[in-house]
């Protein structure tokens, strides 16, 4: 029977598919680490209190990248080059979502509107990250190799999402609500399309590695398209609603967590 758990186990149990999965994840996390570090360095004077939180966000992303690298090393595997069509971060940038790398490489302070753009983009993408890590935690929390990594990353993603909610609500109260709402909706529409495209690309690569039949590939592709249609029509709301999180100041106190 084809299930999410059996699909993930098939990918994790094969060295080549696991190698690709971890390489894609590590590349995305490393990119997020660089972006957050640059944003923290360019925070405008009016938002300097945010700089340590953004820096911690970047440190967490770097840590996640190292975790995926460590998982590869544990199985004596080397990372592979990430196929361009699976590069979620860069595909979002090409859609004009978030702050461009060109802007982040410029040594001039960001504006408050740039911070709104960054936080709205993060709120949407962290929603996706939280959901994906929750799915992995559900199926692999007790896995001898993946369990600790999945639990650690999932907790961090929950903190990142809580931070985005809290800071966007603060900025909304400061008079930026209309810009926040507009940016959230723009980001959500683009993200669900990019997520669909990346999911299809990843499944094609996994199917080639694992020798999936054409019928199995068609079923998985149909599922991805169905999820996209649902998100486009109904599921998008979860990405744009703002709620004060139960955990306040989630990135306010950095903690050092060793990477195995």
pLDDT in tens, 206-249: 999 999 999 999 999 999 999 999 999 999 999 999 999 999 99
Can you give the residue range of the structural domain that contains 149? 4-240
Mean pLDDT, rounded, of the chain: 93
Looking at the 3D structure of the chain, how many domains does it have? 1
Structure pTM? 0.93
Q: Give a yes or no: residue 249 inside a domain.
A: no
Task: Indicate if the pLDDT at residue 84 is higher than 60.
Answer: yes
pLDDT band at 253; cut points 50, 70, 90: low
pLDDT at 142: 87
What residue has token string 């966000």? 57
Q: Give a yes or no: residue 202 inside a domain.
A: yes
Q: Give a yes or no: residue 258 inside a domain.
A: no
Q: Give a yes or no: residue 169 inside a domain.
A: yes
Of residues 259 and 18, more confidence is placed in 18
Task: Indicate if the pLDDT at residue 25 is higher than 90.
Answer: yes
Q: Give a yes or no: residue 245 inside a domain.
A: no
The distance of Cα 34 from the centroid of its chain, to the nearest Å, equals 14
Task: Indicate if the pLDDT at residue 174 is higher than 90.
Answer: yes
pLDDT over 70 percentage in the chain: 97
Q: Give a yes or no: residue 185 inside a domain.
A: yes
**Which CATH number does the domain housing residue 203 bear?**
1.20.1260
Q: Give a yes or no: residue 253 inside a domain.
A: no
pLDDT at 257: 47
Q: Give a yes or no: residue 255 inside a domain.
A: no
């Amino acid at each position: 029977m084809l299930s999410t758990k059996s699909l993930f186990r098939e990918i994790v149990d094969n060295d080549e598919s696991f190698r690709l999965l971890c390489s894609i994840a590590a590349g995305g996390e490393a990119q997020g680490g660089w972006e957050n570090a640059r944003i923290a360095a360019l925070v405008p004077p009016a938002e300097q209190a945010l700089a340590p939180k953004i820096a911690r966000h970047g440190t967490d992303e770097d840590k996640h990248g190292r975790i995926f690298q460590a998982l590869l090393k544990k199985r004596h595997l080397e990372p592979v080059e990430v196929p361009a069509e699976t590069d979620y971060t860069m595909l979002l940038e090409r859609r004009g979502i978030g702050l461009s790398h060109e802007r982040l490489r410029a040594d001039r302070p960001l504006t408050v509107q740039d911070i709104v753009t960054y936080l709205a983009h993060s709120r949407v993408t962290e929603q996706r990250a939280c959901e994906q890590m929750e799915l992995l935690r559900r199926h692999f929390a007790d896995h001898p190799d993946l369990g600790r990594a999945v639990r650690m990353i999932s907790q961090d993603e929950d903190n990142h999402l809580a931070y985005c909610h809290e800071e966007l609500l603060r900025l909304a109260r400061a008079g930026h609500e209309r810009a926040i709402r507009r940016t959230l909706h723009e980001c959500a529409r683009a993200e669900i399309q990019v997520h669909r495209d990346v999911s299809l690309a990843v499944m094609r690569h996994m199917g080639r590695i694992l020798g999936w039949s054409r019928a199995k590939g068609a079923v998985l592709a149909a599922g991805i398209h169905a999820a996209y249609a649902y998100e486009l029509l109904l599921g998008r709301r979860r990405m744009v609603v703002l709620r004060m999180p139960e955990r306040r100041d989630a990135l306010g106190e950095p903690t050092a967590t060793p990477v195995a």
